[in-house]
Amino acid sequence: MSDSRSCRDFVAPHIAVLPKSGIRYFFDLVNTMSGVISLGIGEPDFVSPWSVCEGTVYSLERGRTHYTSNLGLLSLRKAICDYVAEEFGVRYAPENECLVTVGVSEAFDLAIRAITSPGDEIIYHEPCYVSYATEIRMSHGVPVPVCTYEKNLFALDPADLEKAVTPRTRAIILNFPCNPTGAVLTDEQMRDIAKIAVKYDLAVIADHIYSELHYDDRPMHTVAALPGMRERTIFLHGFSKAFAMTGFRIGYACGPNSIVDAMMKIHQYAMLCAPTTAQYGAEEALKSARPDMQRMVAEYKGRRNVIVSRFNEMGLSCFNPQGAFYVFPNVTSTGLSSQDFAVKLLQSKRVAVVPGNAFGACGEGYVRCSYATSLEDIRTAMDRIAEFLDELKTEKA
Amino acid sequence: MKFEDRKYILNALVKNAKTTAADLAEQLGASEQEVAAEIADLEKQNIIRGYHALVNEDNLHEKPVKAIIEVRVRPEREGGFDRIARRLSNFPQVTALYLMSGGYDLMLEVRGADLNEVASFVSSKLATIDGVLSTGTHFLLKKYKESGVMLLEEEHDERLKIVP
Ligand SMILES: Cc1ncc(COP(=O)(O)O)c(C=O)c1O
């Protein structure tokens, strides 16, 4: 007792008040149980493509075990800039507009730290990835969530966004396809959001980590490609999701030189450079693993179709998300809160889902289910959830 | 049906021939009848030629013996290698037969109950056939991968149970 008291005294107040991730409690609970099918895993079930693993090992055999440039391997940055130009239609200079980071996680952290002064407001859409609000607070910024709704397919409504803008607003965070909803933006919504960013002179942090995982037959798009946007957008992307390389921990940031330079300064002092071995793996991914990625995307799409139709059949309304590997069914018809639904389901049927409120208050009434797991497990989990709903109904009657 | 959907069906069946039309229909957001019709069409066009169980003989009580045999043959003036290849295919011991580029002409995969059976197939049948110039027999010792399936791999998922 006295020990933890004396430790706690050293902790800075703005860190002490940060909540632990809402997922944490649930994680601990799941870990006490066996035989659980987890739909709570936000990372691919596929192992990294073999060509990537092999290329990584080859870099070690050649003795490529030293620091790289602070920005990352130039050859990797060139490959990244070509990829972004080809797939997203925005050209960045590998020499000074692209920074290789430790996952999008670090890139996001750098972006927030580079642009936020104490008291600056940063707008983001909710429900959203668990790090956004806390990252902003760690930089003494003010997180400003804007709710998204099932009736809008969880897209960010430009009108709602504009209402949240104040003279202190510094930036907008966009994450589409979205974790946890799987939502995407239409071209028109993206255009309207871009206009707001230009009108109020705001920066945009675009988290593209799920971009390749989209199931509407159209090319990938980014807000950075729209008029007036390149100079104010920090384009964040990485290898974790599309290439199934979460453990490699490689991401990147592209943007105008002034911002990338500022992010580079922080990265240089805090990180020196991203892990060299993993950078070689990432380079190999862009060179040879795109067919693997396409195969995985096709498989995710099949699983999404199964999980969405099963949820709707069993009477939990579930909109058909066009991206990422999450569905976000509405559980309000059960009369349970997200948290109670998830805990009861886990305890009675051993299926783990993540309560929607872990992703912000307006995720209440929903649960996040990841379909980055085998079809067989998805089907078993859906059978168990259907049983659970039946039992709830008889309980109530 | 769209080209990608057809490809999806084919990939799924190559991976698991027991995947049902109903399962595939759910994955594609199509009707079961549509998928069944597509599979029937793939069969009719001889694109799908059969459905087989992938057997790991190591786990069987009686273990058959397999050999790869390299065969050099004299091609015929008319018909080249086809006639002799067809003739060899008729032997039930021959489970696969390919025409090869390189140092020999035909590659046979041969199966027998034991070493003797394969050896006697080679010496009394294969080597005596008119047109067969030489054979080289390689017995299979251990199977690691077949038809894209790793036979030694154990399934494991070391991911954390909940990840944001
Ligand atoms: C929206 C979002 N951004 C960023 C990340 C972090 O990705 P990385 O592995 O590149 O750090 C995740 C991971 O779950 C995510 O869902």
| Predicted pLDDT at A175 | 98
Q: Do residues B87 and B130 both lie within one domain? A: yes
Q: Do residues B40 and B70 both lie within one domain? A: no
Q: Do residues B32 and B66 both lie within one domain? A: no
pLDDT tops 90 at residue A25 = no
Ligand 1 mean position, distance from CA B128 (Å): 66
Among chain A residues, the shortest Cα distance to B30 is held by A305
Instruction: Find all residues with CB under 8 Å of A255, minimum gap 6, and list them.
Output: A92, A97, A224, A233, A234, A235, A263
Among chain A residues, the shortest Cα distance to B27 is held by A302
| Predicted pLDDT at A217 | 85
B28 touches chain A (CB under 8 A): yes
| Predicted pLDDT at A356 | 96
CA A169 from centre of chain:
22
Q: How far apart are CA A124 and CA A129, in angstroms?
A: 10
pLDDT tens digits, A126-175? 999 999 999 999 999 999 999 999 999 999 999 999 999 999 999 999 99
Residue closest by Cα to atom 16 of ligand 1: A179
Q: How far apart are CA A31 and CA A126, in angstroms?
A: 27
Residues forming a β-bridge with B99: B106
Q: How far apart are CA B164 and CA B158, in angstroms?
A: 16
Ligand 1 mean position, distance from CA B17 (Å): 36
| Predicted pLDDT at A27 | 86
- Average pLDDT, stretch A191-214? 98
Q: How far apart are CA A76 and CA A71, in angstroms?
A: 10
**Looking at residue B75, what DSSP letter applies?**
-
pLDDT tops 70 at residue A119 = yes
Given 3.40.50.720, 3.50.50.60, 3.40.640.10, 3.30.390.30, which CATH number is that of A50-289? 3.40.640.10
| Predicted pLDDT at B133 | 96
pLDDT tops 80 at residue A21 = no
pLDDT tops 50 at residue A2 = no
Question: What is the domain extent for residue B30?
Answer: 3-44
Residues forming a β-bridge with B109: B68, B96
pLDDT tops 80 at residue A206 = yes
Output the six-digit token pair for B15.
């991976």
pLDDT tens digits, A59-118? 999 999 999 999 999 999 999 999 999 999 999 999 999 999 999 999 999 999 999 999
Q: How far apart are CA A325 and CA A373, in angstroms?
A: 9
Give the start-end residues of each E strand in chain A: 37-38, 98-101, 121-126, 142-147, 169-174, 203-207, 233-238, 251-254, 326-327, 351-352, 354-355, 367-370
Note whether residue B150 is domain-resident: no
Q: How far apart are CA A143 and CA A18, in angstroms?
A: 12
Partner residue facing B163 (CB), from A42, A298, A306:
A42
Note whether residue B73 is domain-resident: yes
* CATH number of the domain enclosing B39: 1.10.10.10
Q: Do residues B65 and B136 both lie within one domain? A: yes
- Average pLDDT, stretch A313-331? 96
Q: How far apart are CA A361 and CA A355, in angstroms?
A: 11
Q: Do residues B131 and B62 both lie within one domain? A: yes
Q: Do residues B74 and B24 both lie within one domain? A: no
Contacts of B153 in chain A (CB under 8 A): none
Dihedral (CA of A271, A277, A280, A285) sign:
negative
Among residues A128, A151, A189, the alpha carbon closest in space to that of A319 is found at A151
pLDDT tops 60 at residue A7 = no
Q: Which atom of ligand 1 is nearest to the CA of A104?
A: 10
Q: Do residues B11 and B87 both lie within one domain? A: no
Lowest-pLDDT choice from A46-50, A86-90, A213-217, B73-77: B73-77
Instruction: Find all residues with CB under 8 Å of A93, minimum gap 6, and list them.
Output: A81, A257
pLDDT tens digits, B131-160? 999 999 999 998 889 888 888 777 677 898
Q: How far apart are CA A148 and CA A128, in angstroms?
A: 10
pLDDT tens digits, A232-276? 999 999 999 999 999 999 999 999 999 999 999 999 999 999 999
Residues forming a β-bridge with A355: A367
Strands A37-38 and A351-352: parallel
Note whether residue B12 is domain-resident: yes
Q: Is A370 in the pocket of ligand 1 (CB under 6 A)?
A: no
Q: How many domains does chain B have?
A: 2
Q: How far apart are CA A339 and CA A331, in angstroms?
A: 10
Q: Do residues B64 and B128 both lie within one domain? A: yes
Contacts of B4 in chain A (CB under 8 A): 298
Please, which pLDDT band fits residue A1 given cuts at 50, 70 and 90? very low
Whether A244 contacts A112, CB under 8 Å:
no
Q: Is A124 in the pocket of ligand 1 (CB under 6 A)?
A: no
Q: Is A254 exposed, middle or buried (0-12, 13-18, 19+ CB in 10 A)?
A: buried
Partner residue facing B161 (CB), from A130, A352, A358:
A352
| Predicted pLDDT at A150 | 96
Q: What is the mean pLDDT of chain A?
A: 95
Contact state of A41 with B163 under an 8 Å Cβ cutoff: yes
Q: What is the mean pLDDT of chain B?
A: 92
B158 Cα to chain A: minimum distance (Å)? 10
Q: How far apart are CA B162 and CA B126, in angstroms?
A: 60
Domain with CATH 3.40.640.10 in chain A: 50-289
- The residue ranking higher by pLDDT, B83 or A6, is B83
Whether A197 contacts A172, CB under 8 Å:
yes
- The residue ranking higher by pLDDT, B79 or A285, is A285
Q: What part of A 45-104 touches B (C-beta under 8 Å)? A: 45
Q: Do residues B40 and B61 both lie within one domain? A: no
Residues forming a β-bridge with A178: none
- The residue ranking higher by pLDDT, B71 or A22, is B71
Q: How far apart are CA A254 and CA A8, in angstroms?
A: 38
Strands A121-126 and A169-174: parallel
Note whether residue B158 is domain-resident: no
Architecture of A4-48+291-396 per CATH?
Alpha-Beta Complex (3.90)
- Average pLDDT, stretch B9-37? 96
Please, which pLDDT band fits residue A5 given cuts at 50, 70 and 90? low
Note whether residue B49 is domain-resident: no
B29 touches chain A (CB under 8 A): yes
Tokens 């190591």: give the residue. B58
A383 touches chain B (CB under 8 A): no
Q: Is A179 in the pocket of ligand 1 (CB under 6 A)?
A: yes
Q: Which helix (H) or strand (E) holds A317?
A: none
Please, which pLDDT band fits residue A8 given cuts at 50, 70 and 90? low
Cβ count near B87 (within 10 Å): 12
**Looking at residue A116, what DSSP letter applies?**
P
Q: Is A238 in the pocket of ligand 1 (CB under 6 A)?
A: yes
Q: Is A207 in the pocket of ligand 1 (CB under 6 A)?
A: yes
Give CA separation, A264 vs A80, A209, A224, A276, B122, in Å. Answer: 17, 20, 20, 17, 70
Lowest-pLDDT choice from A46-50, A143-147, B70-74, B153-157: B153-157
ipTM greater than cut 0.90 = no
pLDDT tops 90 at residue B41 = yes
Q: Is A41 in the pocket of ligand 1 (CB under 6 A)?
A: no
Rounded (to 5) percent helix, strand, coil in chain B: 35, 25, 40
Domain with CATH 3.90.1150.10 in chain A: 4-48+291-396
